[in-house]
Amino acid sequence: MISSPSPSPSPSSSRTPKGGSAAPPRSQASKWRSGAVRGVYGRRLLDALRATGGGQPRAVKAAADSALALTARGQTRWSRAILLAGAACSRRRVLVKAGGKVRRPRRQPPPVQARDNAAAALLKGKGKEKDKVQERLRVLGRLVPGCRKLPAPALLEESADYVAALQMQVSAMRALADALAAAQLSSPAEADADADAER
Amino acid sequence: MRHASPPQELPAAGGEIQAALAPATSSSARAGARGGGGGGGGGGSFTALLGLPTSQAIELLLPRTAPPPALALAPAPAPAAAPAPAFPSDPHLVDRAARFSTFAPPSPSSPSPAPPPPPPPAAAANAGKRKADTVDRASKGKAAKKGKTAEEKPAGGDGDDEKPAYVHVRARRGQATDSHSLAERARREKINARMELLKELVPGCSKVSGTALVLDEIINHVQSLQRQVEYLSMRLAAVNPRVDFGGLDSFLTTECGRIAGFNCKNGIDLEQVTWPEMGVHGARQLMQLQQQFWHGDLAHPHQVASQWEKRGDGHPPVFSNSNPSLFGYDLTSSGTQQTPATKLKTEL
């Protein structure tokens, strides 16, 4: 490949985790499925749950989402949006700022809307149903936090990471809920099981 | 023959000539050079090899030999023999010329439409030249039509490999090579690559073809995941007040290590769930529950959610009583259910 000093897909930028635009995007599935990440998230989730005062589903959900965004380390747009939305803790703010520094602003030519239309227009092919794909992209942008008005390729990348993260979150929360339920069930029933659970 | 290369090689050759000339006897070399310069025939093997008329060679040599410092040759070319620098013995030159000629691209056209870039120094010339050549070729190709680029490129056959300097895109045959379509194609490929990633992530998308439907599936999947998160948070909120979180740390770590094996959608390995703190009976029923959760949930998320809601909020299920009635899933064979239970027994 010709390495030239032009802006766009320079592979020499070591700071950006997401390097070249034409380079194949990272596989987030592997990143969010590793056992280490699950452990990190599990611990954070526990901390967050301990912090919530009492059983309010909204608080629990907010805590879980914040824990997830923290685990994402602020490298993605949706994680930063979540952290900013719930930013009461100074620790989170610091992390968000660090994430903002690490992540380089995207090298996009100025008109975002025009590019979005152009990109989506290219994607859907020759059909006249540009609106369908456009509409769905907009819906997707609304679903993923902080990703409205994002052009198509960035939006797809964010949503891939978000989906992987959500899957991990769901499985972790389910495991935790089952564990809690099981522990709760066992504790009044069997004394030694209770002692085992405490260890 | 390749006319583009010699003008570049000559300074290098000139430098080499001068360097190689130092040990050689100046007088004999000069005699041979004069013979070559004058006759253009037998003695001038260098020019004969290059195929250039001697006058042109000398012309080209002249301005280039001026700048490079005359190393050991200061006395030698000073007199009128300067225009004809002495050529060293043939084998060296032949070797060098041969080596240089293999590197250079074939540019049969005269130097005018393809003026090679100003000759960089010899050692770095090859690598730099290749780069410069491709860049040059690319810029030429962009301006020129396809037929012309086919000439100028090396015989890569059908390779309409346009490589503009900053977009690493391979143009296919029969496709336009102007910058707009190239950029569009790059954009399209970017988007398609990301769509592929998403399709792999979201289960059940590989069958669907067409962007709109795939996006539909993705949207549905995201919504269902978010709904599950809400439901689970409700469960956790209900369980929370009664549980002491201290004992859960170690529990969660072991579990996370095992559940990590669960998380592949394709193969659900049901044998790895262990609940070491449970009694055997409770463990077995919990195992059934767990298997049903994993298996059912991963396959039919909506149904499972409804089942949970049917069961009511807040209270953990009473395993011993309600299992057969609530969960109508057809599980895997009882063999798989037995083995985890036996594993549990041994562990306990």
Residue among B131, B219, B260 minimizing CB distance to A2: B131
All residues of chain A having their beta carbon less than 8 Å from the beta carbon of residue B241 are 54-55
Query: How far is residue A188's CA from residue A193's CA, in Å, rounded to a whole number?
Result: 9
Inter-residue contact B197 to A28 (CB < 8 Å): yes
Task: Give A174's contacts in chain B (Cβ within 8 Å).
Answer: 228, 232, 293, 297
Q: Quick check: B198 and A160 CB within 8 A? A: yes
Instruction: Flag whether pLDDT at A54 surpasses 50.
Output: yes
Which has more confidence, A140 or A9? A140
Separation of alpha carbons B134 and A1, rounded Å:
11
| pLDDT of amino acid A24 | 55
- Confidence band for A32, pLDDT divided at 50, 70 and 90: confident
| pLDDT single digits (tens) B25-59 | 544 444 444 444 444 444 445 555 555 555 555 55
Query: Which pLDDT score is estimated for B334?
Result: 45
CA–CA separation, A144 and B48 (whole Å): 72
If DSSP states are collapsed to H, E and C, what string results for chain A?
CCCCCCCCCCCCCCCCCCCCCCCCCCCHHHHHHCHHHHHHHHHHHHHHHHHCCCCCHHHHHHHHHHHHHHHCCCCCHHHHHHHHHCCCCHHHHHHHHHHHHHCCCCCCCCCHHHHHHHHHHHHHCCCCCHHHHHHHHHHHHHHCCCCCCCCHHHHHHHHHHHHHHHHHHHHHHHHHHHHHHHHHHHHHHCHHHHHHHHC
Report d(CA B328, CA B331) in Å as an integer: 9
Residues 267 through 286 of chain B touching chain A, CB cutoff 8 Å:
275-279, 282, 286
Residues A59/B234, Cβ–Cβ less than 8 Å: no
Measured between alpha carbons, how far is residue A62 from residues A168, B126, B273 in Å?
A: 16, 61, 28
**Per-residue pLDDT tens over the stretch B156-169:** 444 445 555 666 66
Q: What is the predicted pLDDT for the residue at B179?
A: 87
Beta strand extents in B175-256 (DSSP E only): none
CA distance B297 to chain A (A): 10
* Contacts (Cβ under 8 Å, ≥6 apart) of A150: A77, A141, A158
Q: Give tens-digit pLDDT for B189-203.
A: 999 999 988 898 888
Nearest-Å Rg of the Cα atoms of chain B is 39
What pLDDT sits at residue B45?
54
pLDDT of A191: 47
Give the pair of three-digit tokens for residue A68.
Answer: 């997830």
A193 shares contact with chain B (CB less than 8 Å): yes
pLDDT bracket for residue B227 (50, 70, 90): very high
Residue A49 to residue A70: CA distance in whole angstroms: 14
Residues B106 and B76: their CA atoms lie apart, in Å, by 35
CA B297 – CA B300 distance, rounded (Å): 5
Question: CB distance A184–B316 less than 8 Å?
Answer: yes
Per the CB < 8 Å rule, is A179 touching B248?
A: yes
Structure tokens at B279: 């009694």
Q: Helix, strand, coil shares of chain B as percentages rounded to 5?
A: 65, 0, 35
Range with the poorest average pLDDT among A20-24, B229-233, B261-265: B261-265
In chain B, which among 53-72 make CB contacts under 8 A with chain A? none
How far from each other are the two terminal CA atoms of chain A, in whole angstroms?
A: 57
Q: Is A40 in the B-facing interface, judged by CB distances under 8 Å? A: no
Output the pLDDT for position B55.
Answer: 59
The answer to whether B130 faces chain A, any CB pair under 8 Å, is no
Comparing A87 with A91, the larger pLDDT belongs to: A87
pLDDT in tens, B95-135: 665 565 555 444 444 444 444 444 444 444 444 444 444 44
Between residues A68 and B2, the one the model is more confident about: A68
Residue A168 has pLDDT above 90, yes or no: yes
Of B135, B212, B253, the CB nearest to A136: B212
Which amino acid, one-letter code, is at A166? L
Which range among A136-145, B88-97, B300-309 shows the weakest confidence by mean pLDDT? B300-309
Average of per-residue pLDDT values in chain B: 56
Q: Tell whether B82 is within 8 A of chain A (Cβ).
A: no
Q: Which of A44, A46, A116, A176 to mutate to test the interface with B (most CBs of B within 10 A)?
A: A176
Distance to chain B for A84, nearest Cα, Å: 19
Indicate whether B6 pLDDT > 50: no
Which of the pair, B94 or B339, is modelled with greater confidence?
Answer: B94
| Band (B222; pLDDT cuts 50, 70, 90) | very high
Of B155, B256, B166, nearest in space to A176 by CA: B256
Predicted local confidence at residue B125, as pLDDT: 44
For residue B224, the model assigns a pLDDT of: 95
User: How would residue A10 be classed by pLDDT, with cut points 50, 70 and 90?
Assistant: very low
pLDDT for the residue numbered A165: 93
* Minimal Cβ distance to B242: which of A46, A61, A184: A184
B23 phi/psi in degrees, rounded to 5: -70, -30
**Residue B347: helix, strand or coil by DSSP?**
helix
Per-residue pLDDT of B277-291, as tens digits, reads 444 444 444 445 444
Q: What percent of chain B has pLDDT over 70?
A: 19
Average pLDDT over every residue of A128-156: 86
Interior/surface letters B103-141, b for 16+ CB within 10 angstroms, e for the rest: bbbebeeeeeebebeebbebeebbeebebebbbbbbebb
> Is pLDDT of B318 > 80?
no
Q: Which residue of B has its CA nearest to A141?
A: B219
Interface A-B: count of C-beta contacts within 8 A: 256
- Cα Rg of chain A (Å, integer): 21
Q: What average pLDDT does this structure show over B286-304?
A: 46
pLDDT for the residue numbered B53: 56
Q: Which residues, 6+ apart, have CB-to-CB distance to B198 below 8 Å?
A: A156, A159, A160, A163, B205, B214, B218
pLDDT-derived band at A85 (thresholds 50, 70, 90) equals confident
Q: Smallest Cβ distance to B194: which of A156, A173, A176?
A: A156
Residue A125 pLDDT exceeds 70: no
Chain A residues 73-112 with CB within 8 Å of chain B = none
Over residues B201-230, mean pLDDT:
89
User: With contacts defined as CB-CB under 8 Å, which chain B residues touch A21?
Assistant: 186, 190
Nearest of B159, B196, B166, B158 to residue B182 by alpha carbon = B166
Rounded Cα–Cα distance for residues B14 and B76 (Å): 14
Q: Is A166 in Cβ contact with B263 (below 8 Å)?
A: no
Q: If you count them, how many residues does chain B have? A: 348
Confidence of residue A58 (pLDDT cuts 50, 70, 90): confident
Question: How far, in Å, CA of B229 to CA of A77, rounded?
Answer: 20
- Could you give the CA distance from residue B75 to residue B77 in angstroms, rounded to a whole number? 6
CB-count burial class (<10 Å; 0-12, 13-18, 19+) for B34: middle
Q: Does B348 touch chain A (CB under 8 A)?
A: no
Over residues A6-16, mean pLDDT: 45
Nearest to A2 among B163, B186, B200 (CB): B163
What mean pLDDT comes out for the span B50-75?
A: 51
Q: How does residue B226 score in pLDDT terms, banded at 50, 70 and 90?
A: very high
Q: How far apart are the C-alpha atoms of B201 and B206, rounded to whole Å? A: 10
